[in-house]
Amino acid sequence: MRLHSPVVLPCDADCSVLRDAVVDVADDGRIAYCGPRADAPAFSGPSHELTGVLLPGLVNTHAHSPMTVLRGLGSDLPLLRWLREAMWPAEAKMTARDVGAGMLLGAVEMLRNGVTTSAEMYFHGEQLVESVLAAGSRVVFGAAILDLPGTPWRPMADEISAWIDADGLRSGPHERIELGYGPHSAYVLSPETLAEIAGEARSRGALFQVHVAESLDEDVAQRASHGSVPRLLESSGVLGGRVLSAHSVHLSEEDVAIYARHGVGVAHCPGSNGKLASGIAPLRALLDAGVHVGLGTDGPASGDDLDLLEEARLAALYSRLSTMDASSLGAASALLLATRGGAAALGRDDVGALEPGRWADLVHVDADDPAFATGLDAPDEQVLANLVWAAGARRVTDVWVAGERVVAGGESTRVDRRAAQAAVGEVSARLRAS
């Protein structure tokens, strides 16, 4: 398949803007060529003429998407009360089927917003993965691991280890599924437990996803006992493999240096961090230190619209406000966080950019919108600004995963969206009533 578009954004390190360019997709679902049409190799397969902006599928580095069934609950509570009073009691009642229903709608919704890959920390992984496969997106699943009275951590860790050993780290059509570990946080798990889980992840090359320094309460508690969460992770031997530190709001300069030293990826979640009054992560400092940073919506009960391009805008707004510097994060840098940066934060080099060999996960943003009225022929910087600041996800019309069109005309080609909404409605009503 060949896609031809007036503007193609490969999301290379410079955030180039290619004009009159094509993306060729090989039969195996990977990109064969991305560049100017004039330089493209001969091509004989089916060809599609697009009229807007073509870019890589967005990479959501931190989500709990099955929480679509809890969306709108406890909207004005701070993090720890929101967890304890609204989320955890409801989640305790969720069945595997509920998780599947929530994930199906979440995946469909994200695809419509241009998100083709999401890192999901949640439980009932089998049903979650099944829904991802049904929707046609990609997931980096981090099996949630807690340690609570009556819910010890070891069986949860053993279960995901056995699953990885059985199915392999990546599986499913076009490797849509990656399995890994999702130990909740250093305030729910001991340093020793975190280290044991990290060892299991490292030996399998799997991603270790963990919440770090999200709220000030958590940060204060951890600083009192261990200096900081990154120091705790380092001194416990957790760092070294593929580690994704979600949120990472309350980091010191030393914490940032620890992350840079160990190649830790960060999932920056500005929307959720604002809604729950958690704070503003030191994005500029992380990027300046060379840390790989991606963006996360967090779950739809705190990052309600699952819109990663809104997170990109928020990342730029927060960065500009916290540094009082309007050049602190431009449209190009914000877009790279949502694509290439996200892939790097997850330790993945096969998504997040339009380069030969990577999966042909693609998003087409229609230019028939006031957002682009100043013209696709405007200077590069203006087109990028129009995409990020004005168009956003609203005008995503078509999305491909491994070359398969999974969204056409803004709707899923695989899932009956209304049926998925109705299923979530039923779960939500039952959780309210019980």
Residues 289-318 that bind a second copy (CB under 8 A): 300, 304-306, 310, 314, 316-318
Which residues in 253-272 contact a second copy (CB under 8 A)?
271
Which residues in 26-45 contact a second copy (CB under 8 A)?
none
Return the DSSP state at 357.
Answer: T
Please tell me whether residue 413 binds a second copy under the rule CB under 8 A: no
CB of 69 to a second copy, least distance (A): 7
- b vs e for 305-340, b when ≥16 Cβ sit within 10 Å of the residue's Cβ? ebbbbbbbbbbbbbbbebeeeeebbbbbbbbbbbbb
* Of residues 229, 247, 233, the one with CA closest to residue 286: 247
Question: Quick one: which segment of 88-96, 183-191, 291-299, 377-385 binds a second copy (CB under 8 A)?
Answer: 377-385
Q: Measured from the CB atom, is 210 or 269 closer to a second copy? A: 269
Which residues in 93-122 contact a second copy (CB under 8 A)?
105, 108-109
CB of 185 to a second copy, least distance (A): 19
Please tell me whether residue 377 binds a second copy under the rule CB under 8 A: yes
Q: Are 275 and 264 in contact (CB under 8 A)?
A: no
Which two tokens mark 427?
């779960």
Max CA-CA distance within the chain? 65
Backbone Cα Rg of the chain: 21
Residues 151, 158, 375, 408: which binds a second copy (CB under 8 A)? 375
Residues 162, 220, 321, 408: which binds a second copy (CB under 8 A)? 321
Q: Measured from the CB atom, is 318 or 359 closer to a second copy? A: 318
Q: Are 427 and 66 in contact (CB under 8 A)?
A: no
Please tell me whether residue 331 binds a second copy under the rule CB under 8 A: yes
Question: Quick one: which segment of 149-157, 197-205, 344-352, 412-420 binds a second copy (CB under 8 A)?
Answer: 412-420
CB of 415 to a second copy, least distance (A): 11
Residues 44, 46, 76, 224: which binds a second copy (CB under 8 A)? 76
| Torsion from C-alpha of 270, 276, 281, 283, nearest 10 degrees | 0
Site string (334-373) toward a second copy, x via CB under 8 A: ----------------------------------xxxxxx
How many CB atoms neighbour CB 430 within 10 A? Answer: 14
* Of residues 250, 244, 249, the one with CA closest to residue 265: 244
CB of 340 to a second copy, least distance (A): 19
Task: Render 91-102 in DSSP notation, one character per residue.
Answer: HTT--HHHHHHH
